[in-house]
Structure 1
């Protein structure tokens, strides 16, 4: 397999991480994107590297693998090119807060399950909360500290990963949209693009929220859809928020499949002194319009955690699309319907944090090496991913 040609279709953080991992393994890699590197979903994220928002199961295992890998990936980048600082890696830890008795009970049950899966959690008493987050509302019922939560600057982190791949010999083609597949003997051997034909032995669909559309163009559709999120950014403030702080509703919003908009409070600072305030999740297709009513809900919930932000000026707002799969699990592996096609996506709002673990799993599978975590739950041929295609296949059998 060494020297095989791989075309990674998508230059966001997932595609960049895959390119880095694959070229390190000795494969000949080209990264293709219809726009620019990290110019879409990746640049509209918050940079979460979280274990705190995932219950026991395969996604938590992928998050734990990624969390173990991130420091080493960045250390290697710093040693080779001195570029790691662009990622703005900050293992700041997270604090999850419940503000009602019902929320406290739910959070306690959730945390108990996480502890059985090896997640480090520290319960904070009132004094510890005041010391960790002096501006947090005193009207809370439970506060849990997750020391392994971290944060990166999303576009910067993608730049580091892609830069590592390019420094090792990968190539990048931007402004190149994939139009369709060229098959021979039932296998994909090339893609037709706006910049001509690109041949490879392996094609990796890493197109984020557009993975569903790309897969249809290639003739092997997967159920990956856009789910929109909105973020508020304050003007720079004096030190106000010292961890990633979110209310217990966040976990429910992450795991919800509801069509209606889900909102919760996620509040964190950046190195520039701005405060990022999220989050929301809406099933609105690729509609790019900002929704003031959603931003109002997000702001209102954030003020329940940090009342002092009421006087902060909002400098800007932005929204982005996350790749949503109905069963809330990423899609990693070979497509059984079209030899030569692989998928790496469907991470919804967790793609930044899960990128390096996803790349490791994909590379191990592609090279037929043992994976560090069980990869079967992420397989392509599951009903939530194939949808109607799976039903049709079963009927044909």
Structure 2
């Protein structure tokens, strides 16, 4: 059943409760409030206290094959540009439309990269092949001898914690409530199993819809509602260098094998070179992936792999100090697509989680799909591939 639109009298104290104050939950609050819905965001921790706070802020189309996720990413690319222009200066999200550069080490990798780019172009991505002799023009610090690459001008970056906070502030200005440090202990349902709100230690929040934007803990929130969503944590480490001069790394630069790592379902440690600068000067070096539960133990093997692969891509990094490392947990679903939209097994329950490493990039488009479902509007891209019940045996 669609919820009320702007201008209609309220049918309940709230139209929706959003569980999770990461960037996806913040975006859901922003677009729902903008549509005239009365919403509250609840999180057991602070803003961006989970996966969002450990992210690099990537807004990528370059790492996605043609299909449903790429369609979502292209929509989000446009929405992030609009948000960067619409949010006031005090809510700056450090939006950088710097583009991405994917490089191939040999002819085999280049052939695969060309095939990927061809499919992406057909889906609406701008992708320019770069000859070996032209790579140094885009990135002077790259290692010699690379076979070539593809430049993706639509790739961009934001500061993820600032983006989440800015979206929540904007949502609050439109009437949304934000309740931090308040854990959801139950999803309330009526005799017929329909959602009625959530319970927290500070009391019940009544609403006909609950949006599960709990990231890596999305499976736990689904269980509170009496259903199953197989979200698993996939750990990743990031190395941070000392501040470097502007232009040391001009784009988001990564090796072509990163795309295969993103699509892999292996639980073992995987690593590929991903290097990008920040406005403050430090360079971020990723990326690793492994399924080890919520184990935060520092992995020296993972860090050694990151350093070695980054130096192979940018030899000058061998003389640069790494000043810290951190890890986060990507919310992984078995088919690598997020769960977005209403859950037909629990009327009134909506999901917006399971984006793995793409949650920051896909947050606005996810929120627009969720808001369309809440209001009964037509979604801007097909929502069927993201059905939350697709994992039901």
The normalised TM-score by structure 2 is 0.95
2:224 counterpart residue number: 217
1:354 to 348, 356, 362: 362
Q: Does 1:377 align with 2:359?
A: no
Please give the alpha-carbon distance, in whole angstroms, between the structure 1 residues aligned to 2:119 and 2:198: 45
Please give the alpha-carbon distance, in whole angstroms, between the structure 2 residues aligned to 1:362 and 1:183: 20
1:56 counterpart residue number: 66
Give the 3-state SS of the residue equivalent to 2:224 in structure 1.
Answer: helix
Please give the alpha-carbon distance, in whole angstroms, between the structure 2 residues aligned to 1:300 and 1:168: 48
Please give the alpha-carbon distance, in whole angstroms, between the structure 2 residues aligned to 1:34 and 1:362: 22
Give the C-alpha shift of residue 269 in structure 1. 0.3
Q: Does 1:192 align with 2:202?
A: no
2:244 to 237, 258, 271: 237
CA RMSD of aligned residues (A): 1.1
Please give the alpha-carbon distance, in whole angstroms, between the structure 2 residues aligned to 1:9 and 1:105: 43
Query: Structure 2: which 5+ runs fail to align?
Result: none
1:322 counterpart residue number: 330
2:303 counterpart residue number: 295
Q: Does 1:282 align with 2:328?
A: no
Give the C-alpha shift of residue 264 in structure 1. 0.5
1:180 counterpart residue number: 186
Query: Structure 1: which 5+ runs fail to align?
Result: 384-389, 392-397
Please give the alpha-carbon distance, in whole angstroms, between the structure 2 residues aligned to 1:40 and 1:377: 26
Please give the alpha-carbon distance, in whole angstroms, between the structure 2 residues aligned to 1:382 and 1:291: 34
2:255 counterpart residue number: 247
Structure 1, 217-226 or 307-316: larger mean CA deviation = 217-226
1:69 counterpart residue number: 79
Q: Does 1:306 align with 2:314?
A: yes
1:364 counterpart residue number: 372
Q: Deviations over 1:65-107 (max 9, x none)?
A: 00011111222212xxx3342x100000000001122211111
1:88 to 81, 94, 103: 94
Q: Deviations over 1:360-383 (max 9, x none)?
A: 111112211111111110111212
Please give the alpha-carbon distance, in whole angstroms, between the structure 2 residues aligned to 1:21 and 1:246: 32
Give the 3-state SS of the residue equivalent to 1:354 in structure 2.
Answer: helix
Please give the alpha-carbon distance, in whole angstroms, between the structure 2 residues aligned to 1:83 and 1:332: 31
Runs of 4+ in structure 1 deviating by more than 3 angstroms, as ranges, are: none
Contact 1:177 1:195 in 2 (8 A): no
Q: Does 1:44 align with 2:54?
A: yes
Equivalent residues, number: 381
1:395 counterpart residue number: none
Give the C-alpha shift of residue 160 in structure 1. 1.2
1:12 counterpart residue number: 22
Please give the alpha-carbon distance, in whole angstroms, between the structure 1 residues aligned to 2:387 and 2:90: 34
Q: Deviations over 1:100-125 (max 9, x none)?
A: 22211111111111111111111123
Contact 1:12 1:42 in 2 (8 A): yes
2:234 to 212, 227, 239: 227
Q: Does 1:33 align with 2:40?
A: no
2:165 counterpart residue number: 159
Give the C-alpha shift of residue 197 in structure 1. 1.6
Give the 3-state SS of the residue equivalent to 1:369 in structure 2.
Answer: coil
Contact 2:135 2:148 in 1 (8 A): no
Contact 2:132 2:148 in 1 (8 A): no
Give the 3-state SS of the residue equivalent to 2:366 in structure 1.
Answer: helix
2:151 to 145, 154, 166: 145
Give the C-alpha shift of residue 57 in structure 1. 0.2
Please give the alpha-carbon distance, in whole angstroms, between the structure 1 residues aligned to 2:113 and 2:259: 9
Give the C-alpha shift of residue 284 in structure 1. 0.7
Give the 3-state SS of the residue equivalent to 1:296 in structure 2.
Answer: helix
Q: 1:127 to 1:103 in 2, by over 3 A?
A: closer
Give the C-alpha shift of residue 127 in structure 1. 4.3
Contact 1:75 1:84 in 2 (8 A): no
The normalised TM-score by structure 1 is 0.94
